């Protein structure tokens, strides 16, 4: 792959975001179901942390596939814009979240200077994404009002979710692509 | 209004209500957006937005009531509805073509990004079908692919790689040249009134916030 963004790679990047978006359209229903199930215990926001890894997956996946600066951010932002036009319920807010999550994942790769697209990079993006999205939710979703034990549970659940879906799952997919020699 | 300026305005508003705690501002945004939606969006869409949001709204309200702050729950619910209705107003009158066109013509985004994203956007129905096909093909071999199976993504990405090459070749053969200047059938401009609306709305929001 060349160093600049070619038309083909831009289309591919968008398609990857869309694929993640379509597969996770099901998680929208899953989210509502989990959220409803947790409501009587007052734990509904936990659904967000539990499934967050699925929503941010496009970014690390694009990072592992393209291995170049900007790919995670672009994948997440383009994915958010496409989702907005598909008629997602969150509208413009999707784009704000997309920008925030894109930056979060990008920072993980920046920390490894775009040299580690292995387990180290995976852990770096997991940490950066967990911390930054948690700070954003601290303000936006009112996490600052919750009891401390709930916050700790939410943080750990979020970390595990991002590690499993955003990290391990996207790394497995990238490994399969590498084994079949379609990416380097 | 110009699609990019409109998006910018909404992003600023969304950011602002994310970080401030004014129930009144949320309610004003909700009511103004709802009136806008009643005029311009379909009835079905409005009902969908209002009812689907009930689930997270109730969830957040009870979570705050049980594990947090009751007052805060009300704020979060109004914020949620402000987000949803505000977001709905953008897509009901603006298409992705308008946004991409404006980004390219007014904001110097390279045309390959504008048209590449738009081209991929039009493949959505094909991708949906492909994912169904991959799942069906796996089922015939008694393999169930769920949304956490790497194989499902692997196969769809392989298909996407194929399509992106084909689409890029197709666009090139229709004389789409990266980096060359293009002429436009539909000209998108930024009017002075667009800037005026942007400034007036943003100032109005600050005033509601302060007083």
ipTM of the complex: 0.85
- pLDDT level of residue A1 (50, 70, 90 thresholds): very low
Mean pLDDT of chain B: 88
Q: What is the mean pLDDT of residues A92-109?
A: 89
Picking from B30, B120, B174 by the largest number of A CB atoms within 10 A of its own CB, the best residue to mutate is B120
Better pLDDT: B91 or B199: B199
For residue A10, list chain B residues with Cβ-Cβ distance below 8 A.
112-113, 116-117, 120
Task: For residue B120, give how far its alpha carbon lies from the nearest alpha carbon of chain A (Å).
Answer: 6
**Collapsing DSSP states into helix, strand and coil, what is residue B122?**
coil
Evaluate whether A97 touches A81 at the Cβ level (below 8 Å).
no
**Collapsing DSSP states into helix, strand and coil, what is residue A14?**
helix
Please return the burial class of A184, using the count of CB atoms within 10 Å of its CB with bins 0-12, 13-18 and 19+. Answer: exposed
For residue B173, list chain A residues with Cβ-Cβ distance below 8 A.
none
pLDDT at B165: 92
* Tokens encoding B194: 């667009």
- pLDDT level of residue A3 (50, 70, 90 thresholds): low
Lowest mean pLDDT among A48-57, A100-109, B96-105: A48-57
Q: For chain B, how many helices (H) and strands (E)?
A: 10, 0
For residue B132, list chain A residues with Cβ-Cβ distance below 8 A.
none
Number of neighbouring beta carbons within 10 Å of residue A81? 22
pLDDT over threshold 60, residue A70:
yes
pLDDT at B155: 92
The count of residues in chain B is: 211
Better pLDDT: A43 or B172: B172
Domain ranges of chain B: 3-94+197-210, 111-173
For residue B15, list chain A residues with Cβ-Cβ distance below 8 A.
96
Architecture of the domain whose range is A7-179: Orthogonal Bundle (1.10)
Contact B121 A14 (CB under 8 A): yes
Contact A89 B117 (CB under 8 A): no
Nearest CA in chain A to B128: A22
Contact A84 B91 (CB under 8 A): yes
Q: Alpha-carbon distance A140 to B6, whole Å? A: 22
Lowest mean pLDDT among B112-126, B129-143, B171-185: B171-185
Residue whose structure tokens are 């890894």:
A53
pLDDT at A103: 92
pLDDT over threshold 90, residue B92:
no
Q: Which helix (H) or strand (E) holds A1?
A: none
Task: Name the DSSP letter for residue A41.
Answer: G
Domain ranges of chain A: 7-179
pLDDT at A66: 87
Q: What is the mean pLDDT of residues A29-41?
A: 78
């Amino acid at each position: 792959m060349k160093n600049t963004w070619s038309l083909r790679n831009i289309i591919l990047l968008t398609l990857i975001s869309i694929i993640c978006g379509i597969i996770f359209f099901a998680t929208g229903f899953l989210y509502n179901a989990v959220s409803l199930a947790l409501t009587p215990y007052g734990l509904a926001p936990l659904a967000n942390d539990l499934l967050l890894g699925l929503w941010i997956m496009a970014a690390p996946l694009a990072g592992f596939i393209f291995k170049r600066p900007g790919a995670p951010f672009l994948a997440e932002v383009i994915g958010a814009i496409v989702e907005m036009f598909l008629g997602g319920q969150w509208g413009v807010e999707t784009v704000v979240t997309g920008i925030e999550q894109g930056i979060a994942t990008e920072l993980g790769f920046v920390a490894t200077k775009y040299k580690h697209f292995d387990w180290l990079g995976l852990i770096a993006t997991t940490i950066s994404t967990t911390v930054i999205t948690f700070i954003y939710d601290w303000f936006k979703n009112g996490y600052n009002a919750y009891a401390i034990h709930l916050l700790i549970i939410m943080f750990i659940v979020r970390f595990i979710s991002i590690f499993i879906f955003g990290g391990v799952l996207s790394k497995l997919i990238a490994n399969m692509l590498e084994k079949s020699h379609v990416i380097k | 209004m110009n699609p990019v300026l409109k998006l910018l305005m909404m992003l600023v508003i969304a950011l602002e209500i994310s970080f401030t705690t004014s129930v009144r501002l949320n309610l004003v945004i909700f009511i103004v957006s709802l009136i806008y939606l009643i005029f311009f969006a379909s009835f079905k869409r409005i009902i969908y937005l209002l009812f689907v949001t009930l689930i997270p709204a109730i969830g957040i309200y009870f979570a705050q009531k049980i594990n947090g702050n009751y007052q805060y729950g009300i704020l979060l619910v109004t914020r949620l509805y402000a987000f949803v209705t505000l977001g709905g107003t953008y897509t009901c009158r603006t298409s992705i073509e308008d946004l991409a066109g404006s980004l390219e013509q007014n904001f110097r985004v390279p045309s390959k990004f504008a048209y590449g994203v738009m081209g991929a956007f039009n493949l959505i129905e094909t991708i949906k079908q492909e994912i169904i096909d991959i799942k069906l093909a796996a089922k015939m071999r008694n393999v169930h692919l769920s949304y956490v199976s790497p194989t499902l993504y692997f196969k769809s990405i392989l298909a996407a790689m194929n399509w992106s090459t084909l689409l890029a070749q197709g666009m090139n053969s229709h004389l789409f040249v990266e980096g060359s200047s293009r002429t436009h059938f539909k000209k998108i401009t930024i009017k002075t009134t667009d800037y005026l609306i942007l400034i007036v709305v943003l100032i109005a929001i600050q005033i509601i916030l302060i007083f």
